[in-house]
Amino acid sequence: MADQTSSGEAYWKANLRIIIVSLIIWAICSFGFGILLRPMLSGISVGGTDLGFWFAQQGSILVFLALIFFYAFRMNKLDKEHGVDEE
């Protein structure tokens, strides 16, 4: 019983770590590259405009997709490692 609780805690901590890293990437690619950091990316031109414009209109969406699939894959593995997956 005690084992299960400590495993549950380790599982939850690992989960929170993955969530935080993912959300940092999420914020940098949308609010960062798409809006606030766009002036910094203005030197990199993409089809008649700059990289920040691309991130705002398309790049951020592609990053979101990658993040969700990465999270699902990583968590389903983590569930098994900690023995908390559904039978």
Partner 1 sequence: MDQFTINLLFVGASFALYIGIAIWARAGSTSEFYAAGRGVHPVTNGMATAADWMSAASFISMAGLIAFVGYDNSTYLMGWTGGYVLLALLLAPYLRKFGKFTVSEFIGDRFYSPTARLVAVICLIIASTTYVIGQMTGVGVAFGRFLEVDSTTGLLIGAVIVFAYAVFGGMKGVTYTQVAQYCVLILAYTIPAIFISLQLTGNPIPALGLFGNAADGTPLLQTLDGIVTDLGFKEYTAHNGDTFNMVLFTLSLMIGTAGLPHVIMRFFTVPKVADARWSAGWALVFIALLYLTAPAVGAMARLNITQQFWPEGATGEPVALETIASDPAYNWMKTWEQTGLLGWEDKNGDGKIAYFNDGDAEAKAAMEAAGWGSENELTNFNRDILVLANPEIANLPGWVIGLVAAGGLAAALSTAAGLLLAISSAVSHDLIKGSINPAISEKGELMSARVAMAVAIAVATYLGMNPPGFAAQTVALAFGLAAASIFPVLMMGIFTKVNNKGAVAGMLAGLITTLVYIFLHKGWLFIPDTNSFTDADPLLGTIKSTSFGAVGALINFAVAFIVSKATSPIPQEISDLVESVRIPRGAGAAQDH
> From the centroid of its chain, how far is CA 16?
12
Question: What is the closest distance, in whole angstroms, from the C-beta atom of residue 3 to partner 1 in the complex?
Answer: 14
Residue type, 30: S
CA distances in angstroms from 1 to 6, 15, 75, 86, listed in the order given = 9, 21, 23, 18
Cβ contact 78:15 at 8 Å? yes
Question: What is the closest distance, in whole angstroms, from the C-beta atom of residue 4 to partner 1 in the complex?
Answer: 10
| Angle, alpha carbons 53-58-59 (nearest 5°) | 85
Question: What is the closest distance, in whole angstroms, from the C-beta atom of residue 51 to partner 1 in the complex?
Answer: 11
Nearer to partner 1, 2 or 57 (CB): 57
Residues in contact with partner 1 by the rule CB under 8 A: 8, 11-12, 15, 19, 22-23, 26, 30-31, 34-36, 38, 46-50, 53-54, 56-58, 60-62, 64-65, 67-69, 71-72, 75-76, 79, 83-87
